[in-house]
Amino acid sequence: MQYSEYGLTDDQRALCDGVRSLCAKFPETYWQDLDERSAYPDAFIEALTEGGYLAALIPEEYGGLGMQIMDAALILEEIHRTGCNGIAGHAQMYIMGTLLRHGSDEQKRKYLPDIANGKLRLQAFGVTEPDAGSDTPSLTTRAEDKGDHWLINGRKMFISRVLQSDLMTLLCRTTPVQGGMKRTDGLSVILVDVNEARKNGLTVSPIKIMLNHHTNELNFDNVRVPKENIIGEEGKGFKYILSGMNAERILVASEAIGDGRYFVEKAVNYANQRVVFDRPIGMNQGVQFPIAQAYCQVEAARGMRNLAAEMFDHGENPGEQANMCKMLATEAAWTAANVAMDTFGGYGVTKEYQIERKFREARLYISTPVTNKMVLNYIGAQVLGLPRSY
């Protein structure tokens, strides 16, 4: 099935071809085996690193490819379109943005080259807490200033890839909320050496969920982190995290678009091949129309993603477009997932046909990294000017 590549440059087409060639070495049986064993795709991540794809957004001066957000979006889209899963490595693309935009020159020189070449993995992003959820300013994990180090105590929930990472960016409170102070002030971003932290008070407890995602609960018990590991100014962490949200939304949308295209292509092929009552099931409008509708939704979401990425790459603030493309793409992917499941019928729930694995993976993005209900809150209040509900 041939999708439109209108608007892509020759370099971008070559980029997509390169990603598809790499992914062809990791067939769906590879992912099925990992899923059954709840194993991390080390070989796949190493291949992406060697190809430079995970360093797409790191400037060339630090060993990266120096690409734009649209290029990174295409990389993740193609990964998911082939049936692979970029979630095991995608965070490195946008997490390092906090370090790149707000870190000191010394921090960037120290960490970015080794992140680019794979010597260090920065895959963990410690924000969510069990009692705060989407209300990030309510987080209670505390980092106390002890002179030459920070002393960290608290809990984090649903923090993924910690055991597969060398470094983690951690959002924590360094100044308690006081009278007249904004709730969003007093939060700071600290770079944590995961291996060192696990030796002195960090407990990582894996959480079993419905897909192979390697997420965890974290407990910080008097964890010492060097004072110089703070990124940017103390107390400005919430602003720093927000500055990376547009990129995160665009990249997650791209993965969902890839999933959507995967499901549509699978459904089309099966509907053409599966013969019941002496004719292909795709001849039946009850099968054909839902596939066509899913296709329309995925391609429309892709158009919004392209707009958001273009604005981002031109230095605009695409908050509205980035949030819309995340919601539209994840909803479209979920629609396509259900259409594929219906098209395959009983075979859709079998491991052999792979639909059920991707079906579980596609559902995740409705709720994370931001629930689509919070996206609608943003659109309603920030874009349309309606009263805030929270």
Site of tokens 């509907």: 271
Handedness of CA 274, 275, 280, 282 (dihedral sign): negative
In angstroms, the CA 205 to CA 248 distance is 25
pLDDT tens digit string along 171-211?
Answer: 999 999 887 789 999 999 999 999 999 999 999 999 999 99
Q: What is the pLDDT of residue 390?
A: 81
Q: How confident is the model at residue 99 (pLDDT cuts 50, 70, 90)?
A: very high
The 10 Å Cβ neighbour count of residue 135 is 11
> What average pLDDT does the segment 134-157 reach?
96
pLDDT, residue 275, reads 97
Q: How far is CA 64 from CA 21, 111, 387, in A?
A: 20, 12, 43
Express each pLDDT in 313-328 by its tens digit. Answer: 999 999 999 999 999 9
- Looking at residue 175, what is its pLDDT? 95
Q: How many CA atoms lie within 13 A of 116 on its CB side?
A: 22
Distance, in Å, from the CA atom of 22 to the CA atom of 34, rounded to the nearest integer, reads 18
Residue 150 has φ and ψ, to the nearest 5°, of -100, 140
- Per-residue confidence band for 212, with pLDDT thresholds at 50, 70 and 90: very high
At 64 the three-state DSSP class reads: coil
**Per the structure block, which two tokens stand in for 269?**
């092929």
Whether the pLDDT of residue 277 is over 80: the answer is: yes
Non-local (6+) Cβ contacts of 23 within 8 A are 78, 79, 82, 83, 84
Burial class of residue 85, CB neighbours in 10 A (0-12, 13-18, 19+):
buried
Calculate the average pLDDT of the chain. Answer: 96
For 63, list phi and psi in degrees, rounded to 5.
95, 5
d(C-alpha 108, C-alpha 128), whole Å: 25
| % of residues, the chain, pLDDT over 70 | 100
Compute how many other C-beta atoms are within 10 angstroms of the C-beta atom of residue 141.
21
Cβ proximity of 103 and 188 under 8 Å:
no
Q: How confident is the model at residue 1 (pLDDT cuts 50, 70, 90)?
A: confident
Residue bearing tokens 């678009």? 257
Query: Is the pTM above the cut of 0.85?
Result: yes
Q: pLDDT per residue over 331-378, tens digit each?
A: 999 999 999 999 999 999 999 999 999 999 999 999 999 999 999 999
Residue 15 pLDDT: 98
Question: What domains sit in the chain, N to C, each tagged with a CATH number?
Answer: 10-117 (1.10.540.10), 122-236 (2.40.110.10), 242-383 (1.20.140.10)
Say if strands 167-173 and 122-126 run parallel, antiparallel, or are unpaired. Answer: parallel
